[in-house]
Structure 1
């Protein structure tokens, strides 16, 4: 079974294919089918994931999967949230991190709680009325300065609960075991087992 991923991110393609290999599912980027990015006009991670999945399915005629992820800081009323990748006016990782630090300047540790969230949506076809939804979260708090050189985005600012390490201080193998996306992918894989399961023979 082939599924189109509503993304062209090489890392995501590899991660999805590794986890879904046991189900004989191959994930291909939307660029293989000349599918442009969808207009992410939803008000939540779930809405945006579904919008992207439906868009990719409609343009390609294939089953599609999409993810929407980001970092949420309750003290900032959920920001950066669905705007995580474009939090700052210049929409660059370094600028996003600097703006987050600025907006939390002087805020006590107890109010710097945060979580990474990843929401996946799978549709069999564009108008699928019962999309599969999977969610993963990892909790922690926002540091006052960056720590670690691994990872990307907000990873250097996110201190993981119970580990005393930032996300950027984890080795890739460990990160892929505990991250929000890893949890969402494992959840989706369990649901997809029923989608690709072969019918029981009467013979």
Structure 2
């Protein structure tokens, strides 16, 4: 991290204790809690604190993650960790990307969202590729406004129909490169070891713990 003069600043360390997970998505909260448990962190979901969901007005995954983390830290008085992630499909010009959750509508119907992704690929014709990648940005914020951000990515291929009932979101249609099963078919521990979220967490853990 650099200051206003472009000088490198030391990354702030996170002490064991309570940490707000700035998400109302129970799947994300579960994954993040599983990844944090070994570090003496007591995760608390934003939903359990009745914290509002901010409007995601950022133009990058990191900007949205920072926005969510900073609001949760400010309102709770505790450090807060936010995740902004999405599925980027090459044939769709990177969509749904930042709008991955919004494609599922207000009821968070990811069956509908996956169908919309596949229909979009099919509409491109038989030469449309199925390459895609997941991106995860993590932002860790403190009540004084300090924030650290990290990003991870995993590449893969989309399949249809969706396969498996593990995971959440678009997991059932995404097969990571080097594997022949989808995230939806994968044991959660196996997914946690390789996912975009896990890669972002590796960077966060190396920096702040």
Question: Normalized against structure 1, the TM-score is what?
Answer: 0.84
CA spacing shift, 1:45–1:107, aligned 2, 3 Å: farther
The unaligned stretches of length 5 or more in structure 2 are 1-16
Long gaps (5+) in structure 1: 194-203
Aligned partners of 1:21 and 1:149: how far apart in 2? Answer: 24
| Aligned residue number for residue 196 of structure 2 | 180
Q: Deviations over 1:121-149 (max 9, x none)?
A: 00122522xx2112221111222432233
Q: Which residue of 2 aligns with 1:143?
A: 159
Corresponding residue to 1:121 among 139, 157, 160 = 139
Q: Equivalent of 1:108, from 127, 139, 161?
A: 127
Instruction: Give the whole-Å Cα distance in 2 for the aligned partners of 1:165 and 1:103.
Output: 23
Q: 1:4–1:28: 8 Å Cα contact kept in structure 2?
A: yes
Q: What is the CA RMSD across the aligned residues, in angstroms?
A: 2.0
2:110 maps to 1:98? no
CA distance in 2, matches of 1:120, 1:69: 9
Separation of aligned partners in 1, 2:103 and 2:27: 22
Q: Deviations over 1:57-91 (max 9, x none)?
A: 11112211100111001221110001111215565
CA change 1:107–1:50 in 2 (3 A) is: farther
Asked if the contact 2:27/2:168 (under 8 Å) is kept, the reply is: no
Distance of 1:11 and 1:152 partners within structure 2: 6
1:73-123 alpha-carbon deviations (Å, 9 max, x no partner): 1221110001111215565211101111110003436x2210011110001
CA distance in 2 between partners of 1:66 and 1:107 (Å): 38
Structure 1 residue aligned with 2:148? 132
- After the TM superposition, which parts of structure 1 deviate over 6 Å for at least 4 consecutive aligned residues? none
CA 1:88 to 1:53, structure 2 compared with 1: closer, same or farther past 3 Å?
Answer: closer
1:19–1:186 contact (8 Å) kept in structure 2 = no
Q: Greater helix share, 1 or 2?
A: 1
25, 41, 48: which one pairs with 2:64?
48
Seen in structure 2, the aligned counterparts of structure 1 residues 191 and 9 have a Cα distance that, compared at 3 Å, is same
TM-score by length of 2: 0.81
